Each structure stands twice: as C-alpha cells, then as structure tokens.
Amino acid sequence: MVLRASLEKKEEKEKVRAALMRAALHLAAAHGFASLGLREVAREAGIAPTSFYRHFADMEELGAALVRELAGRILRDFGDRALAAPKGSAVVHVVQSMLSAVARDPELLHFVVAERVGASASMRALLREKLVGLARTLHAAATGEAASASSPPPIAAEAAVVLVMDAAGVALDAPEARRAQLQESLTWAIGALLAAPAPEGKETP
C-alpha cells in the first residue's frame, strides 16, 4: 500500500512539526502568540514559509495543537504527580511539579498561563477544560475520594488550580531566589482553601 508511509518518513515529518511548535512557543514567549506570523514561525523552525502548510492549515491550527498536545500533557502530568503522592502531600507535589515545569520548560508554561486568559476564545475554552480536569484530580488526590467527571469539581480545588497557574506566571518573572518563598506561600494558601469547610453544606460551585 502506498497509503502507509515508512516509519522513518513519518518520524522525519514529526520532527519538523515539533520544530514548528517549539518555534511558536519560543516566539510567543517574547511577543505573544496572537501576534505571531506564519513566516516568522517557519523561519525560526528553519523551513521555507510554504512548507508550513505541509503541517498546519494556519496559525490557529498550530495553536490548537499546542494546547491539545503540549499544554494538555503538562497539565495531565501535574495531576498524575498528585495522584502518585501520599494523600497528605498531594498539594505539595502539585506545587513542586508546577515549579519544576517552570524551570524545565518556561516557554510552555508562559504559553499556558497567557492563553488561559488570552485573545482566542476557543483556546481559552480548551485550556479551561483541562484545568477543570486538573482541579478534579487534585481534589481526588487530596481527599482520597474518586474523581467524578460528571459533577463540577469542588470550588476549593478550582480556586487552588487558579492560584497554581497564577504562581506559575509570577515564578516565570521572578528570580530563582524568590521561588522558594513562592512555593511556601502557595502551599499555605492552597492548604487554607482545601481545609476550609465547604460552603452551604454542598460542594458544587
């Protein structure tokens, strides 16, 4: 069959696609994703402008891939770390994995933090969905209850995720020394939220 390209060819293509996504993240950290041009991204990735179309129809599609693939993976990782930790330290683990992600891949974190409230409504919606998932997971990890995908997550867990994402933004701008303090403050604030009695006897926001 002609339809199935060789593994090697597929991998080659995948590398260029990944290079385009990394190039976009890199440039977005400097000027914001909404202001990126197709030619600018192709140049940064080392391909001809016209080759861009072999991978994405336009910049919007590239942005959606960034959210779905890279952003989705790192947010899922935060949740996985919380679930893998002993119940009492779920919060500490989420905070630590966020801070290590900031150190390891600042451009991706900047993208997530910015696009969460950015200009594109579809990106905002996609990211919010993934953050709601993280809130659910965090709640399950901290309480030991099973995560339910149907009901809304407890508002304390949602607020905790908001604080985590904001702290990522602050950490990105802060010098190394400031980050330890940040970790303490953040852990305290999330602990305070999760320890507080749920409002009006129910946990649905």
Residues that bind DNA (CB under 7 A): 1-6, 8-9, 12-13, 16, 37-40, 43, 47-55, 58-59
* 3 state DSSP class of 58: coil
83 counts as binding a copy of itself under rule CB under 8 A: no
**DSSP state, residue 105:** -
Q: Is the dihedral of CA 103, 106, 110, 113 positive or negative?
A: negative
**145 lies in the site for a copy of itself, by CB under 8 A:** no
Residue closer to a copy of itself by CB (options 3, 121) is 121
* CB-based contacts of 43, cutoff 8 Å, min separation 6: 49
* C-alpha to C-alpha distance for 68 and 53, rounded to whole angstroms: 19
Number of Cα atoms under 13 Å in the Cβ half of residue 49: 4
C-beta of 16 vs 106, nearer to a copy of itself: 106
39 binds a copy of itself (CB under 8 A): no
Nearer to a copy of itself, 51 or 181 (CB): 181
199, amino acid identity: P
Q: Which stretches of the chain bind a copy of itself, using CB under 8 A?
A: 28-32, 34-35, 113-114, 116-121, 124-125, 155-156, 158-159, 162-163, 166, 169, 173, 181, 184-185, 188-189, 192-193, 195-196, 199, 205
